[in-house]
Amino acid sequence: MTAEPTSARSATRYDADTLASLAADAAAVKARYPDPRSGLLPMLHLVQSVDGYVSRDGILFCAEQLEMTPAEVSAVATFYTQYKRHPNGTYTVGVCTNTLCAVMGGDAIFDELSEHLGVGHDETTDDGAITLERVECNAACDYAPVVMVNWEFFDNQTPESATDLADRLRAGEEVAPTRGASSVCGFKQMSRVLAGFTDGRADEGVGAGEPTLAGLRLARAAAAVDGGEPSSVQPAETTDGGSTGSAAEVPPETGTAQSSAERKPAAPGDDNPGRSPSGGDANPEPEKGGSDD
């Protein structure tokens, strides 16, 4: 972990201090997994926390840490949308334009923001403050339309609330998500958390918004009416008998509708590939071919 030996070996252009600090963090990342290669995704978040995107140096650094080729690291980095290929703004503002949010107003919010900021999808404002994105469903559909800022939830947005949000971000004001930390952090800080290094902010913010609690509120009210009986349960009488008790053998129905290309076992290894042909222990990392690297 000393700077000299690491930097002496490194093809990156990080200065010695940065490299030493990155290497220490990378060691912590690798230590979380039985196989260090599993640390590649968090390590890519880590280099984004230093460079603000997955830079050339970041790719080289990961490759050196994991004894991979830069091409192999790039192949992984380009697969995932959160790894940015050019310097990101301080804040990623992502508008959900998947069907449900789009229909309920997400399209209008994106168009308004795009015009207001003068940038399109995956483009950054000239001041470097905001990278605007269309994002896919972010699992907050009961709060539609949803905007994410550095992957914190801003629920039930309108074009006006979204442009106001953007203005405040650009002005450097502290902005609080609906459900999240008490203020949105920068892209680099966020990336460091996603690399698995806590920022101690887990206890900030709410546990749930109202839609999350919608059913629970009704059940509580019903229980109060019933005289404090906690959530009385009635078997679903309308369904086929509601028979209980007999834990019927449930035929496995997956493999039909949900997995289209399941094939019949064709080779011995299909059923028991944990054994190597020599009968020894399983290779913990069965790499295929890789002849072109």
Partner 1 sequence: MTDLMPVLTDTWDADRSWKLASYEAAGGYAGLRKALTMEPADLVQTVKDSGLRGRGGAGFPTGMKWGFLPPPDGGPRYLVVNADESEPGTCKDIPLMLASPQHLVEGIAITSYAIGCHHAFVYVRGEVLHVYRRLMAAVQEAYDAGFLGKDVLGTGFDLAVTVHAGAGAYICGEETALLDSLEGKRGQPRLKPPFPAVAGLYARPTVVNNVESIASVPGIVARGADWFAGMGTAKSQGHGLFSLSGHVTRPGQYEAPLGITLRELLDLAGGMRAGHELKFWTPGGSSTPLFTADHLDTPLDYESVGAAGSMLGTRALQLFDDTTCVVRAVSRWTDFYAHESCGKCTPCREGTYWLKQVLHRIEAGQGEERDVDLLLDLCDNILGRAFCALGDGATSPVTSSVQLFRDEYQAHIDGRGCPFDPRASALFPYTPKQSPALAGAGGH
250 binds partner 1 (CB under 8 A): yes
Size of the site for partner 1 (CB under 8 A): 126
Q: Is 40 in the site for partner 1 (CB under 8 A)?
A: yes
Query: Which of 19, 59, 102, 147 is close enough to bind partner 1 by CB under 8 A?
Result: 102
DSSP for the chain reads --HHHHHHH--S---HHHHHHHHHHHHHHHTTSSSGGGGHHHHHHHHHHHHSS--HHHHHHHHHHHT--HHHHHHHHTTSTTS-SSPPPSEEEEEE-SHHHIIIIIHHHHHHHHHHHT--TTEE-TTS-EEEEEE---S-GGG-S-EEETTEEE-S--HHHHHHHHHHHHTT-----SBSSSSPPPHHHHHHHHTT---S-TTSS-S--HHHHHHHHHHHHHHHHTTS-SS-----TTSSTT--SS-PPPP--TTTSS-TT-----SHHHH-TTS-TTS-PPPSS-----TT-
- Interface with partner 1 in residues 175-234 (CB under 8 A): 177, 179-181, 190, 193-196, 198-199, 201-203, 205, 207-208, 210-220, 222, 231-234
Smallest gap from Cβ 22 to partner 1, in A, equals 17
Assess 280 for contact with partner 1 (CB under 8 A).
no
Closest distance to partner 1 from the beta carbon of 290 (Å): 11
- The distance of closest approach from Cβ of residue 259 to partner 1 in the complex, given in angstroms and rounded to an integer, is 6
How far apart (Å, rounded) are the C-alpha atoms in residues 127 and 237?
A: 62
2, 243, 278, 291: residue in contact with partner 1 (rule CB under 8 A): 243
Q: Smallest distance from the beta carbon of 257 to partner 1, in angstroms?
A: 6
Sketch the per residue contact string, 19 through 38, with partner 1: x for CB under 8 A, - otherwise.
-------------xxxx-xx
Q: List the interface residues with partner 1, window 127-146 (CB under 8 A).
A: 134-145
Which of 6, 12, 42, 63 touches partner 1 (CB under 8 A)? Answer: 42
Residue span 69-98 as binding mask against partner 1, x where in contact by CB under 8 A, dash where not: ------xx--xxxxx-------------xx
When binding is defined by CB under 8 A, the residue of 172, 252, 289, 290 that contacts partner 1 is 252
